[in-house]
Amino acid sequence: MNAAALSGLDERQREAAATLRGPVAVLAGAGTGKTRVITHRIAHGVDTGAYSPGRVMALTFTAKAAGEMRGRLRALGVSGVSARTFHATALAQLNFFWPTLAGDTAPSIIDNKVRMLAHASDSIGISLDTPTLRDVASAIEWRKVKMRSIEQYAAGHPNGIGRLSVERVVDLQRAYEKLKDERRQLDFEDVLLACAGMLEAEPHVARSVREQYRHFTVDEFQDVSPLQNRLLELWLGERRDICVVGDASQTIYSFAGADARYLLDFDKTHENAKVVRLETNYRSDAAVLAVANELMKGRPGALHLTAAGDQSSDAVAATTMPTVTAFDDEAGEAREVASRIRAQIANGIDPRAIAVLYRSHAQSVEIAAALAKNGTASSVLGGRKFFDLPEVRQAVLALRGASVAPMQHGFVDTVRDVLRSLGLTNDPPEAGGALRDTWEARASLLRLAEEAPPGTTLRTFTDELVARAKSNDEPSLRTVTLATLHAAKGLEWDHVHLIGFAEGLLPISYATTFDDIDEERRLAYVGITRAARSLALTWARGSRDRQPSRFLKEIGTGTLREGGASRRVAGQSRPESRRTTGAPLRRSER
């Protein structure tokens, strides 16, 4: 074994990284170091000569994850590995082979499915509002990743969409496909479909691709769709060199076609597959993990997480027990959470280490207002990108302009002078809102300058800013993060406040089937496991007389303690309606 690539790994991680020939499935729980295992496994394969970097394909689901993987591989001394999303890989292959096969350039990719649908609806005399068009767009995406025809979709969705009958939904989808063909365009899902079709129809293309890429790694395999899995099979051909990594408990995109069965059944569908379980969590305290384990107890594929460094039953007692607090209304919940966060910051906690998580975007309004009112800066994850902010674009342009003139002061002082000329002050504005957001953005640029390596010049600094903007490598603002549970996946904070832990919010009101509720449970699990040091769950009865989330009852009182400002013990009252409309699940039903 190569000591360099395998050093610093625990026993299970090393087992996974040292197994260089597939098929291999790594069941990696939250915080267990899956990206570390993936990159060290590839590096070990390259170091030992088992892999040629140019023949390795590492597939991810986001460009950001692919960029992170490339960065980690570079740090391990490995370059030349293709780390891309499924779509980027498929698009590159289409663009490469299409001119030879069709004698023309590949079709362009539409940038807005909803706009195209609006044009298609006009062509058949239907006037639709934007929300309905978005729902139809989602239906098209679901149909394609599930590899269903329009007729098969119609058979499974007889009620149509909104006020649209299923017949009109079919008409609109056909008009949409016709319009795309006329314009020689493909949508996002068509890229995968077209690539799969090309590989199936053109044996020489399939041979060429399989000769190029011989070793496959797939991250977040629990999120793979039937279409992505089919494309993966076509890329592999008869080869067995595949390593998949995932966690069934973090399957939160079933509505978009993700199917965790490909991960759960991997050892059944791949003969002699090796399965490695990673259950040592390096992120969270034992008390947080105890809540997560209780929530997922007995679920398919659930892993039992233990805190690194202490496997004893006394580990939970050694850390702060997570809290649950109930409130009469959402405004009171938001005020108290904002007050707690302000106290955390006053006690020396970096705002960047604190997050408020929630199920839906609408819940951010109340908490953002409460934080702004007490002078705490916050930013919504998934909002406008840092380098797209007007004040950041202005600052980068000003810095680039200053870089052509001789510096009168040192590098950092010059950056500070430029930013001051644009309005950066030593102290932030007292109130929250747009002024505070602008100040935080400019202050982040100054921090980047202060953290730059010795010898950095203004020119190299601005070049680095431009490169970071192109690669979506954004600095973190010194603010509290507000995020939906979906957006929070893959991230972590020392201190997490999970609000709205009530029936109708988590699980969401439209989750009515057993599978829907299970998906909501996994969302709650994702939120809980984002916390490293402290976890606070809150809920409010509000005007709708909400009940505490059934998940609180499933977690139980052994791993949670009642927080301050509570008007009742969370979890005492329970809805009397049936399970599909909000009643708590018994263990036997899980």
Q: Which residues of 474-493 are buried (b: 16+ CB within 10 A; e: fewer)?
A: ebebbbbbbbbbbbbbbebb
34 annotated ligand-binding residue: yes
The answer to whether the CB of 347 falls within 8 A of the CB of 406 is: no
Q: Which residues of 112-127 are buried (b: 16+ CB within 10 A; e: fewer)?
A: ebbebbbebbeeeebe
Residue 512 to residues 249, 359, 554, Cα–Cα distance (Å): 19, 16, 18
The rounded distance, in Å, linking the Cα atoms of 120 and 105 is 25
The amino acid at 440:
E
The answer to whether the CB of 506 falls within 8 A of the CB of 500 is: yes
33 annotated ligand-binding residue: yes
22 annotated ligand-binding residue: no
31 annotated ligand-binding residue: yes
Structure tokens at 384: 């406008």
Q: Give the relative orientation of helices 226-236 and 203-212 as an angle to the nearest 10 degrees.
A: 80
Task: Count CB atoms within 10 A of the CB of residue 252.
Answer: 22
Task: Dihedral sign for Cα 295, 296, 297, 298, please.
Answer: positive
For residue 159, the SS3 value is coil
The rounded distance, in Å, linking the Cα atoms of 265 and 505 is 32
320 annotated ligand-binding residue: no
Beta bridge partners of 242: 216
What is the DSSP annotation of 343-401?
HHHHTT--GGGEEEEESSGGGHHHHHHHHHHTT--EEETTSS-GGGSHHHHHHHHHHHH
373 annotated ligand-binding residue: no
130 annotated ligand-binding residue: no
The rounded distance, in Å, linking the Cα atoms of 537 and 542 is 16
28 annotated ligand-binding residue: yes
Measure the CA dihedral 390/393/397/399, to 10°: 110
Q: State the residue for tokens 């302000």.
A: 342
Helices of type H across 451-581: 458-470, 485-488, 514-528, 550-555
Where are the strands (E) in 179-302, listed by range? Answer: 185-186, 215-218, 242-246, 274-278, 280-281
Task: Dihedral sign for Cα 200, 203, 209, 211, please.
Answer: positive
Cis peptide before 53 (omega within 30 of 0): no
CA nearest to 178, candidates 117, 235, 127: 117
Binding-site members are 28-35
Binding-site members for ATP are 28-35
